[in-house]
Amino acid sequence: MYQINFQNPVHIYFIGIGGISMSGLAEILLEKGFPVSGSDSKESSLTQLLCQKGANVHYGQRSENITKDIDLIVYTSAIHPDNPEYLAAESLGIPLLTRAELLGQLMKNYELPIAISGTHGKTTTTSMISQILLAADTDPTLSIGGILKTIGGNIRIGHSGYFVTEACEYTNSFLSFFPKIGIILNVEEDHLDFFKDINDIRRSFHQFAALIPHDGVLIINGDIPELSAITKGLSCRILTYGESSDCTYRPGNISYRENGCADFTLLKDGQKEDAFSLNTPGEHNVYNALAAIALSDVLAIGRDVVRKALFAFHGTDRRFEYKGQINGTTIIDDYAHHPTEITATLKAAANFPHKTLWCVFQPHTYTRTKAFLKEFAKALTHADQIILADIYPARETDDLGISSQTLQKEIQSLGKTCYYFPDFQQIEAFILDKCLPNDLLITMGAGDVVTIGEDLLKE
């Protein structure tokens, strides 16, 4: 594997430079004096920012973009070997690294690399932790999988030994990392286009946890089924949080304010210690906050700082994000694209003031929709009214004989009314006709469903 000498900057080219993670890595390298170029399918605010900072960005991926002056190519799991730029790099003998391999090498430059993993909640928990570290004046470098308003983007370049990043399990990318502290929020079935089954996923998370050195710390949700499959044989210190009585960190007296956000008491080793108030809705965020509190204790950050930072945190883009109101209907957008995430978001919405809860759901990938068809149907029944958009295929080309109409039939078999429309314009017209004052509308999914609410608010 090509090893980067961060004291000797070389020209690095990113295939897919406009991605949320790739753009952040490109920005870090620009700050360190590396010549950076890359390509993406279209211009965006992230590519515009990179250009302002000195990157050279091509729109459209073509073989002629790859020139002999490039020393290294970085690519994501979405790039296949038949990609024209990938093929051109191979023909010119230019070394290639995955995004995860680059991120892993970058982590080695920091004294305290912190990696947040889990099937769900990575971006929100990473953002909570970022808010705390900033409030504690630790001057961290942050790489977040979403836009955090506190830093005005997804990346912050600090000058201390703290480095915080999300750690995604897809294609085992997080096994290229070098964390000193690791967090595992949850372990569930997902990405079944890559993993064989839940046991395969558990093995992957166990391998991730085993990367933590003996003087490091694993913070893990103690309620994960078959927890020992992940923690067995680890040499590092292990801290647990969750609902179970044997977890080190637990919540007590959870209650909800009128905005759907929780207040709770922190129990550590069974003893009441502090009271916390969140400004991110839902019970799932109580547990995300517990992981952040446990990390803060490891880093010896005072509880006063932690309490104020968590209260000041209002979430990241596309995580129960308030978009506005139209004709008295409140519009929220959420990134949920897994049954567990959908259930958590819709349960959070139940504590938010509303008359009728509408959910416009855009399934993400054919493989996920097929694998969790019944689970998706059950999760969506937590909404009063359900509208389905077509499946967002992302990287996939084979529809596997599955469609949103398949999911619609499954939902209807549960006795729930469910509407399907083949395009966003029809969905928007239906919403304008049916939604009433004091209704709550959530656009949901990891694709481009967010544009429905944004288009409505422009009218």
Cβ partners under 8 Å of residue 99, min gap 6: 19, 21, 22, 25, 74, 75, 76, 77, 173
Question: What does residue 169 show for φ and ψ, rounded to 5 degrees?
Answer: -85, -15
The secondary structure of residue 174, as a DSSP letter, is: G
Please choose, from the candidates 48, 45, 26, the residue with its C-alpha nearest in 3D space to the C-alpha of residue 37.
26
Please choose, from the candidates 249, 246, 182, the residue with its C-alpha nearest in 3D space to the C-alpha of residue 218.
182
How would you list the strands of the sheet with 357-361, edge to edge?
A: 321-326, 329-334, 440-444, 357-361, 385-388, 418-420
Instruction: Find the angle CA(333)-CA(43)-CA(100) to the nearest 5 degrees.
Output: 75
Alpha helices by DSSP H, 211-241:
228-231
* CB-CB contact of 6 with 109 (8 Å): yes
Decide if 454 is catalytic: no
Q: How many CA atoms lie within 13 A of 172 on its CB side?
A: 14
**DSSP per position, 379-446:** HHTTSSEEEEPPPB-TT----TT--HHHHHHHHHTTT--EEE-SSHHHHHHHHHHH--TT-EEEEE-S
Tokens read off for 388: 């389905």
Q: How many CA atoms lie within 13 A of 276 on its CB side?
A: 34
Decide if 122 is catalytic: yes
How would you list the strands of the sheet with 181-184, edge to edge?
A: 153-156, 141-148, 162-167, 112-117, 181-184, 217-221, 237-241, 249-256, 261-268, 271-281
Decide if 410 is catalytic: no
**DSSP per position, 258-308:** TTSEEEEEEEETTEEEEEEEEEEESHHHHHHHHHHHHHHHHTT--HHHHHH
Cα 119 to the chain's mean position, in Å?
9
HEC readout, 302-322: CHHHHHHHHHHCCCCCCCCEE
Q: Which of 27, 101, 166, 410 is catalytic?
A: 166
Return the CA Rg of the chain.
22
Residue-level length of the chain = 459
Q: Which of 123, 330, 340, 406 is catalytic?
A: 123
Q: Which of 27, 85, 101, 122 is catalytic?
A: 122
Cβ count near 205 (within 10 Å): 25
Q: Hey, which residues are catalytic here?
A: 122-123, 166
